[in-house]
Amino acid sequence: MDLHLKIWRQNGPDSPGRFEDYDAVGIKDDMSFLEMLDAVNEGLIEAGREPIVFDSDCREGICGTCGVMINGQAHGPQKGTATCQLHMRKFHDGEHITIEPFRAKSFPILRDLMVDRSPLDAIIEAGGFISANTGSAPDANIIPVPKTAADAAMDAAACIGCGACVAACPNSAGQLFTSAKIAHLNLLPQGQAERWSRTENMVETMEEFFGSCTNYGECQEACPKEISIDFIAYMNRDYIKAKTKNRKLIGQRK
C-alpha cells in the first residue's frame, strides 16, 4: 500500500516545529507502524535528508518508549495496543496519516516525535519500590497472597509507563500511571511496610508535574495495557489515609 504521511518535525525543545509531508510507498500489511517509519527513514537517508527521530526499544509492547499520536489518538486506532504492535493492516491504501509526539506540558519534545518522559521516572523514584533485606531468594509461595490481591496487583503492574494516559487526558493528568505503580506494590504483603509513605510521596511528586484528574476517562481508553481507572479511586483512598497515618507516625517519633 501507498500512504501519505503528515509528520511533526522539530529540531529541539526550544525550536519551532512544523508538519512535513512524506510518502510511504510499498508498505506491506504485516509491517508494524514503527517498521513503516523505518522504511520512510531509509528513503530519507538514501536521499541525504535527516531521518525522523522517534523512540523505540523492545518493539514488543513492554518498554513504553514507542508512543506517538496517530490521527489524534495515542498509540493509534487499535485499542489495547502500543504503537510498536500496531500493524499497517489497520490502515488502507492511499490513507492520509497524521503523526505527532505526545502532547503534554510535562513531556517536552526533545526532537521530532521523541519526548522527555522523565517526570514519570521522578514519580517512581519517590516511592515506586520496596525495601527488603538482601540474601538468598525465599521459597516459592512462602508469603501467602490472596488471589484477588495478586490478580489486581498483576493488572496494575502491566503498566509500561508509556505516558499515553497523560497525552490523551485533556488535563495532562498522571493519575492512571501513578495509581497503577502505587497499587501493584500496595496490594501485596511485601509493599505494606512503606505503603503510606509511598502513597504520599508518589502522589505529591505527581502533582508537581501533571494536571488534575477530572474523571474524563480517556486515559483508560488510550492505555495500551487497558489499565482500569478503578486504580485512581484506590490511590485517592490510600492518599487520604496516608495523610492521617503519616502524621501519626511523625508524632510518635517526636
> Three cell numbers at 35?
517498521
Q: Is 98 in a helix, a strand, or coil?
A: strand
Handedness of CA 59, 63, 66, 72 (dihedral sign): positive
pLDDT value at residue 197 = 94
Q: Are residues 16 and 80 in the same domain?
A: yes
Which of 187, 160, 177, 249 minimizes the C-alpha distance to 213? 177
Q: Are residues 104 and 121 in the same domain?
A: no
Residues ≥6 apart with Cβ < 8 Å to 135: none
More confident call, 1 vs 130: 1
**Strand 96-100 with 73-74, pairing:** unpaired
Residue 34: domain span: 3-111
Torsion of CA 185, 189, 194, 199, to 10 degrees: 40
Taking residues 120-128, what's their average pLDDT?
96
Taking residues 168-191, what's their average pLDDT?
96
pTM above 0.95, yes or no: no
Indicate whether 198 belongs to any domain: yes
Q: Are residues 128 and 85 in the same domain?
A: no
Query: Does position 144 have pLDDT exceeding 90, yes or no?
Result: no
pLDDT band at 68 (very low <50, low <70, confident <90, very high): very high
Mean pLDDT, all residues of the chain = 93
Provide the 8-state DSSP code for 106: T
Phi, psi of 88 (to 5 degrees): -70, -10
Q: Are residues 99 and 126 in the same domain?
A: no
Provide the 8-state DSSP code for 32: B
pLDDT band at 254 (very low <50, low <70, confident <90, very high): very low
